[in-house]
């Protein structure tokens, strides 16, 4: 039986990423976040309105989404708990500048996405940044011989929890291909009918 669950926040599994941006104080910077989704060529991220990332992205109009794996958990926390500091200096992470945007691409992240801002939508103390994806960069070993992304081998970090505690999780099981379950079900129906 379900019950009402009173909590200030509930994260049911969101990707952890480094938000890369041009920073007037430090040249380029990153912030750790887990509030993002992408659909087609649209990327939406959300951050605190008064945070450094939103302030700088409003000035410069572009950013990157860099998706780390569990080997970078220490850097994820350093970049997430040190507001308004030079997080590249603190983490020791290297970066290059995007090809289509003036924002940093974290070298150690196997997936990086360049984004150009389309709109800012404020919602209380948070700002949703709606952007157009201008370029995606993926490590070669995550692309198969047909040029398809190897979803079953990529293991990003997810952020899960509530107001009492939050956790990092990853995808070690390899997953199940979308559509394969219903195909098995349809096969079973044909076997039963026959």
CA distances from 93 to 29, 69, 106 (A): 10, 14, 7
Q: Which domain holds residue 20?
A: 11-193
Examine residue 172 and state whether it is found in any structural domain, yes or no: yes
Examine residue 81 and state whether it is found in any structural domain, yes or no: yes
We report the CATH number of the domain holding residue 83 as 2.30.110.10
What is the reported pLDDT for 187? 62
Over the stretch 18-44, which tens digit does the pLDDT of each residue have? Answer: 999 999 999 999 999 999 999 999 999
Report phi then psi at 122, rounded to 5: -85, 140
Mean pLDDT is lowest, of 47-51, 89-93, 163-167, for 163-167
Distance CA 51, CA 84 (A): 8
**What percent of the chain has pLDDT above 90?**
70
Is the whole-model pTM more than 0.85? yes
What is the reported pLDDT for 172? 77
Examine residue 3 and state whether it is found in any structural domain, yes or no: no
Distance CA 102, CA 20 (A): 10
Contact 47, 127 (CB under 8 A): yes
Examine residue 35 and state whether it is found in any structural domain, yes or no: yes
Over residues 146-170, the mean pLDDT reads: 88
Computed on alpha carbons and rounded to an integer, the radius of gyration of the chain in Å comes to 19
Task: Indicate the number of domains in the chain.
Answer: 1
Examine residue 182 and state whether it is found in any structural domain, yes or no: yes
Q: What is the Cβ-side half-sphere exposure of residue 191, based on CA atoms within 13 angstroms?
A: 6
What is the reported pLDDT for 188? 59
What is the reported pLDDT for 137? 97
């Amino acid at each position: 039986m379900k019950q009402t669950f009173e909590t200030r926040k509930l994260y049911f599994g969101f990707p952890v990423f480094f938000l890369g941006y041009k920073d007037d104080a430090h040249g380029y910077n990153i912030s750790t976040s887990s509030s993002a989704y992408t659909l087609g060529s649209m990327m939406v991220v959300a951050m605190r309105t008064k945070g450094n990332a939103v302030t700088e992205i409003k000035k410069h109009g572009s950013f990157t989404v860099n998706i780390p794996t569990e080997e970078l958990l220490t850097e994820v926390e350093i970049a997430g708990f040190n507001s308004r500091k030079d997080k590249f200096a603190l983490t020791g992470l290297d970066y290059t500048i995007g090809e289509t945007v003036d924002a940093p691409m974290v070298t150690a992240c196997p997936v990086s996405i360049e984004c150009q801002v389309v709109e800012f939508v404020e919602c209380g103390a948070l700002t949703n940044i709606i952007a157009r994806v201008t370029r995606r960069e993926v490590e070669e070993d995550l692309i198969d011989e047909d040029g398809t992304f190897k979803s079953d081998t990529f293991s990003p970090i997810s952020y899960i929890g509530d107001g009492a505690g939050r956790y990092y999780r990853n995808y070690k099981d390899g997953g199940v291909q979308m559509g394969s379950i219903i195909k098995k079900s349809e096969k079973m129906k044909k076997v039963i009918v026959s």
